[in-house]
Structures are given as structure tokens and as C-alpha cells.
Structure 1
Amino acid sequence: MNDQRPVVFDDDNPEWTRDDFARARPADAVHGAAIAQALLRKPGRPIGSTKTNAKKSISLRLDPDVIERWRATGPGWQARMNDALRLALR
């Protein structure tokens, strides 16, 4: 048997054929430019949306018992740790 159909791994999302590619149109032609821009934008915060004094992410190695004690204080433990470090600077 000589079956020329593409192999389908997902019935809900079959492999595209040449006809599918020939009928395809750009996203902005189908949905409009605003929707296309939203679909194509990079994930994450928009450029320039952060405050100048925004907190910075760092890598800090701490002993496991220290981390567990802070986590045991419940939600918001990182903010409380930040406040304790700020007090230690005085």
C-alpha cells in the first residue's frame, strides 16, 4: 500500500500539507496589527516598565537551616528577610 498522507501524531493538530502552507496568511492579515503585535511580543515585562529603584535579583548562598527558618515564618518571608537585612545596615 502506497499511502501519501502525512503521519499524524495529534488528531487535534495534524501536520501541515503544502496546501495548508499555500493558504496561510500573516497574523496581522487575519487578526489585525494590534493582535499580531500582542501575539509576537517577547514574554516578560515591557521595556521601561520597571521603577528606577526596583529590587534586583541576585544569587546568594545561605545555609539550609537559615532558609528553612525564614520560610517557616510563612508567606512574605523574603520581604521580611529584606527588612531584617536593611535593619542590620543601621
Structure 2
Amino acid sequence: MNESAKTSNWTDVDDAPELGPEFFQSAKQMVAGKPVSPTDFDAAKKRMGRPPAPLKRPTLNMRVDADVLEALKASGKGWQTRVNTILRQEVLERR
């Protein structure tokens, strides 16, 4: 933390001054810490967020026993992918 932040007179974040239109008009648009043109900024905004999946999976809502769901979630991150794998193996084996 820098010295000015340590010696601040603010006791609450609500005490921060309002940012008026002048602030935003003079603000520089940045991408990855570097100033960019408005066109480049708009293009970068379109790329922000989670990248699209190569294959869109449909959403499935289903009911399962509470203990089954608890065990699946307890198996850790990626449990939904594991459920998909289990269902795929069961369905494809019966064809």
C-alpha cells in the first residue's frame, strides 16, 4: 500500500468524492494497462468474458436424490462434467 493510502483522512468509502462528467470525459480507455483508441477499446470489449464454447451444450434440468447430488458436488470441481461422462457411458453402452 502506498503512503498516501495509509495517511488518508477518509474513514468510510462513502466519503469518497463523486466522479463527475469531467472525470469520465478526460479518462483514457485502457486495455491490458495500455491506452487504446475508442475503436480498439470497443473491439476489446467484445472479446471480454468467457470465450464461447466450440460446441454449445443444451441445458438440462432434472431432479435427483439429495444424497446423490451431495456426493457429486462433494467430489469437487468439475462434477457436472463427470455427470455428463457417466451419462454418456451409460447411454452409449446401451445402444
More helix by share: 2
- The TM-score, its normalising length taken from structure 2, stands at 0.48
More strand by share: 2
Q: Which has the larger radius of gyration?
A: 1
